[in-house]
Each structure stands twice: as C-alpha cells, then as structure tokens.
Structure 1
C-alpha cells in the first residue's frame, strides 16, 4: 500500500515562502543594478522599490557571493563578475563570448601567442576569456583575474573612450602604483596616453606592468559603437620586438573587428 505523502508544517511552508520572497527581492535588486550600471544605495533601492535597509542587506549578500561589486572611493555599486559568468552561460549567438571564441582561436593559431578578452568591471579590467598559445614560455592569466587600468593594454583601451570625469573617478587622482619603471604614475600622463589610444585605436603595454612583457590591445565594439571589451595579445619582448608591432597590430585589429561585426557593429 502506497504511503500518503506527508504534509509539511505551516512553519516550514512559511519559511520556504520567506526564502522565496528574499530570493525574489535579491533578483529585483540585481536587475535594477544591471539597468543602472553603477549606482548608489539610494538609487538601487528606489529602482527596486525597496527600503534602503532591505536593499543594503541584499546588496551585501550579493557582494559577498561576487554578484555585486562596491567601489569604496565613490560609494557606487555595480554588477559583479559572478553575475557576468552566470549570464555568459546563457550563450546566445551574438553574445560576447560566443562571438569571440572562434575568432580568438584563429588569431592564436596565426600568431602563436596567447590572446585574452577583458571587460571593464568597476575600476579594473577583468579577463573573461583566454586562448593559450603552444609556446613553451607563454603569457597567461586566469579567467576572472583583474588588471589595473593605468598600466595594462586592455585597461587603457577600456577607459580611453570614457568621459574624462568617469576616468578620473575610476582611477583616482594618482599617483598610481608603479609596477615597473615604465608604468604611468600620474593622471596627466595617463590622460595623454588615453588621448593617444583613441587616436590610434589601440593600446600598448610596453613593459609597464611586467618587465620583459609587451602587450597589444584593441577595442571590441557593440552594435552601438560602444567599446564593450578589449582583445589583447601578450608575449615576451624577445618574441615581440618593437619592429613587429605593425604586423601584430594588423592581425589583432582584424580579429577585434571580426568580433565586433558578430556583435552587430558596422563601423
């Protein structure tokens, strides 16, 4: 004789309902933040239709899990890398990662150097995809690692097209950390460098973050023309001398333009 299913107590059902309600509120906060891009606690609470105290508790929980980031200097919240990774799992045809994967693989097979794709998250450039080369000595970083904006190729590309006030808010007034003797350490020097990056449509990390390593980065654009990512190739200076920059630039730019075209850019 089949045993009848046991009914859960009212207290258990109440607890489950409370958990579901909390989850719903947490998702509404994350959705509000995604629309706002970067916002204060008050702005997120207003957008989500919740009290400031409830919104803060939810944001703090999401921050601890990596779904939200908080920039102490500005007091602004933004969507975190973990949320990006979850979203990336739902890979649509024209999403950034699916648009970039095959193109990056072809680029690495062509130049035999490691290629990386980075996006802007808060005040850092975060690597979201990588294709390694077969070289014995190869330049690589792990997915989710961050690079400073002032002395990395991807960081300079991702900030070059931002309004000056936003650049200053993200990097501060300086002086910036000097990773090598070649690192940019002042806001004035960085401003000049970003002007150059915009003018030439690429950035070079010429041993600025690590001695003996050169990195060339180009912008990836969405259909609107907005720079949404940066594609880069890094190599030891012994394999990537300055005389090879024009040739490497042509190859990396062609790849970034292919990715951009897959995202709908027609520039």
Structure 2
C-alpha cells in the first residue's frame, strides 16, 4: 500500500509585536532544511516520505511540512496512487535558467573575441535580469580610445542599443510593465522620452533586426546591438558594439549591424536556435 503522508498537528498561533532575531534565525534554518529536503529528493529521483526523511536526516513530521511547502510552490510533486514524491516543474525551471545562462556565456566566449579581432572595437553581451538590462560579458578591444562597460553594470532600457533589442523581444504589455508610461529621463538631447516614440522605435528594431543608440545615452558615442535567440526563438540576450561617433559614422551602421548579426546568429545556433 502506498505510503500517504499525514500532516502533523498545527502549532498554536503566537501573537508577536515584531520579528525577533531568533525568529529570523529560525526562518533561515527552515530555508536551509527546505533546500536540504529538495536536494535529497533530487538525488533520490522519486521517493516516499520516509526515504526522503532518512536521506535528509530529518524527522518524518519536519520532512512532511517542508515537502508540503515545496509542493504548494511547485518545487515538488506527490502522486497519491504510488505515494511517491518527485521534483516539481518549478525546480526544473530554476535549473534550466542556470543552464541557459551558462550556455549563453559559453557560446559568447567562443564567438565574441573573433568579432573584436575583426572590428578592433569592444563588444558586450547583455541580458535581462529582473527588470533591468545587465551587461554579463565583455570582450575588450586594444584601441587606445575604446568604450568600456563594467560587467554587471545596468543599461537604461529606453536609450541603449541592448535595452531596445531586449524590449523589442517582449510584447507591448511587457514593455509597458518594464518602463511605465513615461516620460523617460533624457540622457542627451537625442534620448527617446515618450512611450509612443519608444514603441515606434521597437517596431523598427523588430523589422531591421538591430537597434541603434544614436548618441542617445552619451553624446559622441554610437552603439549597434542585435538580438541573440534561444532554441524557441525568444530573445535571450543582445550583442552590442559601441564606438566613438567619429569612428562609427551613420553610413557605416548597416554594414556593422550585418557583421554583428552574423556572430549573434552563430551564438543563437549554439543555443539551438
């Protein structure tokens, strides 16, 4: 007969006027135990309550409470017929996000140095992290005067090439959720500051498959950015090349965009696109 977990008695409620240091420590301890239970379940593949408790070194009642919380959040599943617990979809999604991120960086590290060598300009890779465009990788050129961006730095979504590319990959309702209704801050006189103008710009980015920051973030600097897509065709990152406007005149933008698109296409292919 399948082993069916039984919920322990609920503890009597306590009334507190504030969160004590001991309560915070208890929450951390609970989190540690929850992660231990999830890791134990992952190692077992599928298991009964007793098996998970034994692997985690916890009591059955404590293990049940933690598994039930994980189940409610989608990190664990329980099949009534067999009485077995399994890792849930949410846990898989967390692991897939880590895998995709590291696959992306690995592909970029293979492809972007060659683009730097061909252009002698610094190349960046940016991705959405939460509601921000964040630079996650850089291949630096040897130019005496070169554009340098710190890895981990944030780019404004409305007036950067990478921000435009990443937002162009989102439906309009998501764009509004990310940026709001405006007006947006003007970094230079060329910055787009209204939502209608920005949405029109995103339509242009989708059509031409590249974005241009035409001295919108910094006077005297142009940036060309193109999308990187995953196996499902979703935009997961943006490759960008920035240079002084004197070294990147407007008439050179289409040819540069084509060369960056070729490299971004190879990165996308490595991701299964």
Considering the TM-score relative to the shorter chain, is it more than 0.5?
yes
Relative to structure 1, the CA distance from residue 201 to residue 17 in structure 2 (aligned partners, 3 Å threshold; closer, same or farther) is same
Q: Which residue of 1 aligns with 2:201?
A: 193
Compute the TM-score of the two structures, normalised by the length of structure 1: 0.68
Q: Which residue of 1 aligns with 2:180?
A: 172
Relative to structure 1, the CA distance from residue 161 to residue 19 in structure 2 (aligned partners, 3 Å threshold; closer, same or farther) is closer
Q: Which residue of 2 aligns with 1:116?
A: 124
The number of aligned residues is 200
Is residue 184 of structure 1 aligned with residue 186 of structure 2? no
- 1:37-86 deviations in whole A, cap 9, x for unaligned? xxxxxxx995268xxxxxxxxxxxxxxxxxxxxxxxxxxxxxxxxx99x9
Relative to structure 1, the CA distance from residue 158 to residue 27 in structure 2 (aligned partners, 3 Å threshold; closer, same or farther) is farther
Relative to structure 1, the CA distance from residue 28 to residue 131 in structure 2 (aligned partners, 3 Å threshold; closer, same or farther) is farther
Is residue 158 of structure 1 aligned with residue 161 of structure 2? no
Among 58, 69, 73, the alignment partner of 1:47 is 73
Among 11, 18, 23, the alignment partner of 2:32 is 23
SS of the equivalent of 1:120 reads strand
* Residues in 2 aligned to 1:174 and 1:87: alpha-carbon distance in whole angstroms: 33
- 1:156-185 deviations in whole A, cap 9, x for unaligned? 000112111110010011000000000000
Relative to structure 1, the CA distance from residue 245 to residue 28 in structure 2 (aligned partners, 3 Å threshold; closer, same or farther) is farther
* Residues in 1 aligned to 2:118 and 2:136: alpha-carbon distance in whole angstroms: 21
Larger Rg: 2
Is residue 253 of structure 1 aligned with residue 257 of structure 2? no
Superposition CA RMSD, Å:
3.0
* Residues in 2 aligned to 1:27 and 1:146: alpha-carbon distance in whole angstroms: 34
* Residues in 1 aligned to 2:248 and 2:29: alpha-carbon distance in whole angstroms: 54
* Runs (5+) with no aligned partner, structure 2: 1-24, 39-69, 76-93
Are the counterparts in 2 of residues 123 and 149 from structure 1 also a CA contact under 8 Å?
A: no
Q: Which residue of 2 aligns with 1:35?
A: none
Is residue 234 of structure 1 aligned with residue 260 of structure 2? no
Relative to structure 1, the CA distance from residue 136 to residue 167 in structure 2 (aligned partners, 3 Å threshold; closer, same or farther) is same
* Runs (5+) with no aligned partner, structure 1: 1-15, 30-43, 50-82
Deviation at 1:121, TM superposition (A): 1.7
Deviation at 1:25, TM superposition (A): 3.6
Among 209, 215, 228, the alignment partner of 1:220 is 228
Is residue 128 of structure 1 aligned with residue 136 of structure 2? yes
Compute the TM-score of the two structures, normalised by the length of structure 2: 0.67
